[in-house]
């Protein structure tokens, strides 16, 4: 039985009018000496593809999932695995991501939930072996169950903290069993609703201890990671401790966790933090900490995490400029942490959505590669800082200049000339390629 009413999606080129074909994503075509699929490393999230019923705060789900009987049975969970792999196969997507509770049901107690999880993991392992699909990362859902209302690793209740630890222990073990390339922490409830009832210092200390215990456990079982932290400023909580890339880096440095973690940057979370995606990626990449990307987008007219599919070529170009600039992904990839709209309930809408995301990134990749080959952009930036290449500027960079010398320099040289940043010219230059 097949549920996605299409043959395997293939590349038909930019002139094709077939909505069920790639116009730009050609998996094996090389860009800068590497196949597109290896540059882009697309992943599909189990939660949005298989479990998102497309409800919103004002109404019930609309998604048509004829394969799903809506129950918490292991049988139903196993059935979803077949459907998910049909989807991955038809899309030519070679990586995926999950939360423990997406793949296995949360049952009455931890032992029962773990047992169900084991059964699904066994099937996922078989499907991965059969298809060559790989797990990009696993994670634990520490935000949906009511027990986590006050947080998980930052809960004021040590019993809740322990439950969360047990869940993460198991999720890391399952990730390892499936040969997962990474493991993500997204702190949905790790923050606060109000500071009136919150001891921020204790909560952050507890969170750091939690992550250190995760590192220790990974070592014990031979999982070599990396761990990712995924920043997001708010929603569901008022303030989340991992609010943006800079806050995460500060936290990881303060608590001695830099060696074991990287960041997983999500477009819609960047914009919720009032940053651009390029800003967040640049902050992470500059610290050598850009691990992976949750590739989606927000809506400028709607103020929440709408998790839409990327369709903006300008944005994917900027993302790929940074990814190419750091030499590409190692363990990470582009996970479409995106869902189709509530008004798009059909299984085939999932196919259209992913075709769009993949084509948009394929164009971003090609355009970014062309901009880099052209070289004018990089050359402009180099020139803009060239006064630091010699003379007093070079002394500053070498750390040998003093305030007294800089004063001398200024007294001798007088007023510096105001140079143009040529923003408009550079914007035109980018549009030449788009
Ligand atoms: C939610 C997050 C979540 C993480 C994984 O906003 O993006 O989906 O990626 O827990
Ligand atoms: Ni995400
Ligand atoms: Ni999100």
User: What is the share, in percent, of the chain residues with pLDDT greater than 90?
Assistant: 100
Q: Show the domain range for 293.
A: 30-374
Q: Is the peptide bond before 337 cis (omega within 30 degrees of 0)?
A: no
- pLDDT band with cut points at 50, 70 and 90 for residue 320: very high
Q: Which helix (H) or strand (E) holds 378?
A: helix 376-384
**The pLDDT of residue 303:** 85
In this prediction, residues 322-330 reach a mean pLDDT of: 98
pLDDT of 169 over the 90 cut: yes
Let me know if residue 9 belongs to a domain. no
From 374, 394, 418, give the residue that closes a domain: 374
Looking at the structure, do residues 96 and 225 belong to the same domain, yes or no? yes
What is the rounded CA–CA span in Å between residue 394 and residue 413?
16
Q: Please, how many CA atoms are within 13 Å of residue 281, restricted to the half-sphere of its CB?
A: 25
Pick the closest to residue 322 from 376, 363, 360, 369 (CA basis): 369
User: Which residue lies with its CA nearest to atom 5 of ligand 1?
Assistant: 186
Q: Could you identify the atom of ligand 1 that is nearest to the CA of residue 232? A: 6
User: Which residue lies with its CA nearest to atom 6 of ligand 1?
Assistant: 305
Which residues contact residue 186 at a Cβ distance below 8 angstroms, ignoring those fewer than 6 apart?
A: 139, 229, 230, 232, 242, 264
Looking at the structure, do residues 347 and 409 belong to the same domain, yes or no? no
In this prediction, residues 152-174 reach a mean pLDDT of: 99
CA distance to 38, 109, 420, 433, per residue, from 371 (Å): 20, 55, 21, 7
Which residues contact residue 322 at a Cβ distance below 8 angstroms, ignoring those fewer than 6 apart?
A: 278, 281, 282, 285, 290
In this prediction, residues 210-226 reach a mean pLDDT of: 98
What's the gap in Å between 421 CA and the centre of ligand 2?
Answer: 35
Looking at the structure, do residues 235 and 87 belong to the same domain, yes or no? yes
What DSSP state is assigned to residue 20? T
Looking at the structure, do residues 319 and 401 belong to the same domain, yes or no? no
From 374, 396, 421, give the residue that closes a domain: 374
Q: Contact at 8 Å (CB) between 59 and 51?
A: no
Task: Clarify whether 352 is annotated catalytic.
Answer: no
In this prediction, residues 3-22 reach a mean pLDDT of: 98
**The pLDDT of residue 88:** 99
Q: Could you identify the atom of ligand 1 that is nearest to the CA of residue 99? A: 10
Catalytic residue among 99, 176, 206, 279: 99
From 339, 357, 374, give the residue that closes a domain: 374
- Tally of CB atoms within 10 A around 410: 12
Report pLDDT digits (tens) over 39-79.
Answer: 999 999 999 999 999 999 999 999 999 999 999 999 999 99
- Give, as residue ranges, everything with CB less than 5 Å from ion ligand 2: 266, 294, 337
Looking at the structure, do residues 46 and 183 belong to the same domain, yes or no? yes
Looking at the structure, do residues 261 and 390 belong to the same domain, yes or no? no
- pLDDT band with cut points at 50, 70 and 90 for residue 351: very high
Looking at the structure, do residues 388 and 264 belong to the same domain, yes or no? no
In this prediction, residues 219-247 reach a mean pLDDT of: 97
**Residues in the chain, how many?**
434
Output the average pLDDT for the chain: 98
What's the gap in Å between 414 CA and the centre of ligand 3?
Answer: 51
**The pLDDT of residue 170:** 99
DSSP calls for 135-155: EEEEE---SSSGGGTT-STT-
Report pLDDT digits (tens) over 363-419.
Answer: 999 999 999 999 999 999 999 999 999 999 999 999 999 999 999 999 999 999 999
Q: Please, how many CA atoms are within 13 Å of residue 121, restricted to the half-sphere of its CB?
A: 22
Looking at the structure, do residues 408 and 422 belong to the same domain, yes or no? yes
Catalytic residue among 24, 100, 102, 354: 102
Pick the closest to residue 39 from 320, 356, 430, 434 (CA basis): 320
**Exposed, middle or buried: residue 208 (CB in 10 Å: 0-12, 13-18, 19+)?**
middle
State which of 49, 50, 97, 230 you would mutate to test the pocket of ligand 1, scoring each by most atoms of that ligand within 8 A of its C-beta: 230
User: Which residue lies with its CA nearest to atom 4 of ligand 1?
Assistant: 186
Which residues contact residue 52 at a Cβ distance below 8 angstroms, ignoring those fewer than 6 apart?
A: 61, 63, 339
State which of 171, 188, 229 you would mutate to test the pocket of ligand 1, scoring each by most atoms of that ligand within 8 A of its C-beta: 188
Q: Contact at 8 Å (CB) between 267 and 295?
A: yes
Task: Clarify whether 48 is annotated catalytic.
Answer: no
**The pLDDT of residue 338:** 98
**The pLDDT of residue 48:** 98
Looking at the structure, do residues 302 and 423 belong to the same domain, yes or no? no
Pocket of ligand 1 (CB under 6 A): 99, 139, 184, 186, 230, 232, 266, 294, 305, 337
- pLDDT band with cut points at 50, 70 and 90 for residue 15: very high
**CATH number of the domain bearing residue 240:** 3.20.20.150
What's the gap in Å between 245 CA and the centre of ligand 3?
Answer: 14
The backbone torsions φ and ψ at residue 350, rounded to the nearest 5 degrees and listed phi first, read: -65, -35
DSSP calls for 154-195: T-S-HHHHHHHHHHHHHHHHHHHHTT-S-EEE--TTSEES-G
pLDDT of 287 over the 90 cut: yes
- pLDDT band with cut points at 50, 70 and 90 for residue 193: very high
User: Which residue lies with its CA nearest to atom 2 of ligand 1?
Assistant: 186
In this prediction, residues 226-236 reach a mean pLDDT of: 97
- Count structural domains, the chain: 2
**The pLDDT of residue 421:** 98
Looking at the structure, do residues 79 and 228 belong to the same domain, yes or no? yes
Distance, C-alpha 21 to centroid of its chain: 25
Looking at the structure, do residues 331 and 182 belong to the same domain, yes or no? yes
Which residues contact residue 211 at a Cβ distance below 8 angstroms, ignoring those fewer than 6 apart?
A: 153, 185, 227, 255, 257, 260, 261
Let me know if residue 8 belongs to a domain. no
pLDDT of 121 over the 90 cut: yes
DSSP calls for 183-237: EEE--TTSEES-GGG--HHHHHHHHHHHHHHHHHHHHHHT----EEE-----SSS
């Amino acid at each position: 039985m097949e549920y996605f009413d299409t043959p395997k999606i293939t590349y038909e080129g930019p002139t094709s009018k077939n909505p069920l074909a790639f116009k730009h994503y050609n998996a094996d075509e090389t860009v800068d000496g590497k196949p597109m699929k290896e540059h882009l490393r697309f992943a599909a999230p189990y939660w949005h593809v298989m479990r998102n019923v497309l409800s919103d705060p004002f109404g019930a789900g609309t998604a048509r999932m004829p394969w799903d009987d809506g129950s918490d049975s292991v049988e139903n969970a196993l059935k979803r695995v077949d459907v998910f792999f049909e989807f991955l196969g038809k899309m030519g997507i070679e990586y995926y991501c999950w939360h423990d509770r997406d793949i296995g049901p949360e049952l009455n107690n931890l032992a029962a939930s773990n047992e169900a999880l084991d059964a699904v993991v066994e099937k996922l392992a078989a499907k991965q072996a059969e298809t060559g699909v790989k797990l990009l990362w696993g994670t634990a859902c520490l935000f949906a169950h009511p027990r986590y209302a006050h947080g998980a690793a930052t809960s004021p209740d040590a019993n809740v903290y322990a439950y969360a630890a047990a869940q993460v222990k198991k999720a890391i073990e399952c990730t390892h069993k499936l040969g997962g390339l990474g493991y993500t922490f997204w702190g949905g409830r790790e923050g606060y609703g109000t500071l009136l009832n919150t001891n921020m210092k204790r909560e952050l200390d507890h969170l750091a201890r939690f992550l250190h215990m995760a590192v220790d456990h990974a070592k014990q079982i031979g999982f070599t990671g990396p761990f990712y932290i995924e920043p997001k400023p708010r929603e569901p909580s008022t303030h989340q401790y991992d609010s943006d890339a800079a806050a995460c880096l500060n936290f990881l440095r303060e608590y001695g966790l830099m060696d074991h973690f990287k960041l997983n940057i999500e477009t819609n979370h960047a914009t919720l933090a009032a940053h651009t995606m390029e800003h967040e990626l640049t902050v992470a990449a500059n610290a050598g900490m850009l691990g992976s990307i949750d590739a989606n987008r927000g809506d400028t007219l709607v103020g929440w995490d709408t998790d839409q599919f990327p369709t903006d070529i300008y944005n994917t170009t900027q993302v790929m400029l940074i990814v190419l600039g750091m030499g590409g992904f190692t363990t990470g990839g582009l996970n479409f942490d995106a869902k189709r709209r509530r008004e798009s309930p059909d299984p085939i809408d999932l196919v259209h959505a992913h075709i769009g995301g993949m084509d948009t990134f394929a164009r971003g990749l090609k355009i970014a590669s062309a901009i880099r080959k052209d070289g004018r952009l990089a050359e402009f930036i180099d020139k803009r800082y060239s006064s630091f290449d010699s003379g007093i500027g070079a002394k500053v960079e070498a750390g040998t200049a003093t305030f007294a010398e800089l004063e001398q320099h200024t007294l001798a040289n007088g007023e510096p000339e105001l140079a143009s940043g040529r923003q408009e010219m550079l914007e035109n230059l980018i549009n030449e390629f788009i």
